[in-house]
Structure 1
């Protein structure tokens, strides 16, 4: 673990990204303490510009709602959807990829054709259709993002498991009489965790972008405040109140960029060649 952190910290941009992600997470967790009033409640006159009132440092929107409160509560929604949808995608993609890579043959063909079925439609278009069918809500958005996100996971895990399947330790486990399930879960998967972790960090960033895009189009959960909703609601008043779309847009940009930097740092820190070089 010490060696991992030392390799990760060598990637300065990744450290900055981790700090930014930690700050966003902290803001999301303490949002109810920072802003006890609902972000949907009118608290001042509409179109109050930033820094015009110390009580509302980021101004107000078209309905007089606190922009800073909306950003804080929007962070909760973005991180929740990004994290949960990624976990669901991993829960689906990892077993499918592991089974396909381990058994090969007709099992591999069947599972990969099933995976390709979900990749024939562009991810964003499929997510729009799914959310529209199930009605916009946090659950439907998470399910839609997970459905479009698990195929890349399955393909990655399949390739990694196929490479590990030929290793001597797997052959030794087979000769020792271990079951296929035991070999997959206790022998192979622990050795392919690194690329999965890296992909998961990038998937969280992609999920945040996808949720923001859906909310921008009016397909977000109408009962929760999100960054995408804030950008979408302000698109008709960009010239009159630029901050209403710029501030949540910057929040999305910074969060996604930070997560991508963390992913790059994890890729470098978990790379065996990087570990050998450090040694």
Structure 2
């Protein structure tokens, strides 16, 4: 048992924990930030155990770096038809590692520049699709009744209709631009997300704390934004990563069919140019393989990341690593 020295200055004596001043950082916002950081650390620790997810993430980081640095590495002049440095459809060489297209432009530069358009369209279309599906899924699961029935019948109609056919119709009716491609893909690929989010919303609203929130005066907006949305966000995140790969493939398909923006370079547009130039019948494989391989690798990388995220957020799925 220790005794206090009466001659010891008061400032040097230990202050009891209960009487210590609470730092300003220990407020609700700081606590919320610490919890988010801890949650992110746990997510990354579990994500790192998925080798396929790490491979997909590394591939996506590489493609993103290539797309962002395209103006510095290949320059915007690579898209010019009038200033093409090589001969049309020249085979791979030291000067042109992937050969040239029908106008004599470097295919390596076109593939690098096309990554910007394909990734941008895929991301924007996926965000639009997930936003529509989340909105319809949460509202249909919250309000029930005739509104939910109407929303689900509309969703079923979009589900049974061929997505590519609807996207082609929209891309044909509207002007040929990147905005049209994003809109065509986004408004035709949301039904799956809506179904999943509605099922999760019904499960969340069956929990006791939702009844307590309503008893304390929480309105529809409070329940949907403060309780339902945070609980469905993990599902939305996983669904977004899975839809991006489908959106990139859809953009490539529309561009291959000649429904994309003819003024920009994309991977699907390169395949369309190769088809028009007769690269298949002429055996010019270097015109077809690079953009097609880029599409396949990016789609695979997003799929691997999506499966890994889904497994981390819902371990009961038992996704293979």
Q: What TM bracket, shorter-length normalisation?
A: over 0.9
Q: Structure 1 residue 273: deviation in Å?
A: 4.6
Instruction: Show the counterpart of 1:53.
Output: 94
Q: Which of the pair has the greater relative contact order for Cα pairs under 8 Å at 6+ separation?
A: 1
Alignment partner of 1:185 is 2:185:
no
Unaligned runs of 5+ in 2: 1-39
Greater shift, 254-263 or 98-107, is seen at: 98-107
Q: Which of 266, 269, 276 is the equivalent residue of 2:312?
A: 269
TM-score, length-scaled by structure 2 = 0.82
Q: Secondary structure at the match of 1:119?
A: helix
TM-score normalised over the length of structure 1: 0.94
Which residue of 1 is the match for residue 103 of structure 2? Answer: 63
Distance in 1, Cα, partners of 2:143 & 2:317:
31
Q: Which has the larger radius of gyration?
A: 2
Indicate yes or no: 2:302 matched with 1:252: no
Q: CA RMSD in A?
A: 1.5
Q: Does 1:90 align with 2:133?
A: no
* Corresponding residue of 1:28: 67
How big is each residue's C-alpha offset from its partner over 1:150-190, in whole Å with a ceiling of 9 and x where there is no partner?
22121111111011110112111111111111111111110
Q: Distance in 2 between matches of 1:220 and 1:34?
A: 25
CA distance in 1, matches of 2:300, 2:317: 23
Q: Which residue of the partner structure matches residue 4 of structure 1?
A: 43
CA distance in 2, matches of 1:121, 1:184: 30
- Supply the distance in 1 between the matched residues of 2:192 and 2:80 (Cα, whole angstroms): 37
Say if 1:49 and 1:59, in contact at 8 Å, map to a contact too: yes
Residue 234 of structure 1 aligns to a residue whose secondary structure is: helix
**Structure 1 position 117, deviation (Å):** 3.0
Q: Are 1:119 and 2:159 an aligned pair?
A: yes
Deviations 1:98-144 (A, max 9, x none): 01011211111011122223334200011011100003210110000
Structure 2: distance between partners of 1:217 and 1:272: 40
**Structure 1 unmatched ranges of 5 or more:** none
Count of matched residue positions in the alignment of Structure 1 and Structure 2: 273
2:189 alignment partner, SS class: helix
Q: Does residue 199 of structure 2 align to residue 159 of structure 1?
A: yes
**C-alpha contact 1:232 1:245 (8 A) present in aligned 2:** no
Alpha-carbon distance, 1:63 to partner: 1.2
Alignment of 1:78 with 2:118, yes or no, is yes
* Alpha-carbon distance between aligned partners in 2 of 1:218 and 1:90, rounded to the nearest angstrom: 26
Q: Secondary structure at the match of 1:149?
A: coil
- Aligned twin of 2:266: 226
- Residue 148 of structure 1: SS of its match in structure 2? coil
User: Does the Cα contact within 8 Å between 1:136 and 1:219 map onto a contact in 2?
Assistant: yes
- Given that 1:5 and 1:269 are in contact with CA atoms closer than 8 Å, whether structure 2 keeps it comes out as no
Measured after TM superposition, the shift of residue 274 of structure 1 is 8.4
For residues 166-181 of structure 1, the aligned pairs below 5 Å read: 166-181=206-221
- Asked if the contact 1:131–1:140 (Cα under 8 Å) also holds between the matched residues in 2, the reply is yes
Match in the other structure for 2:58 = 19
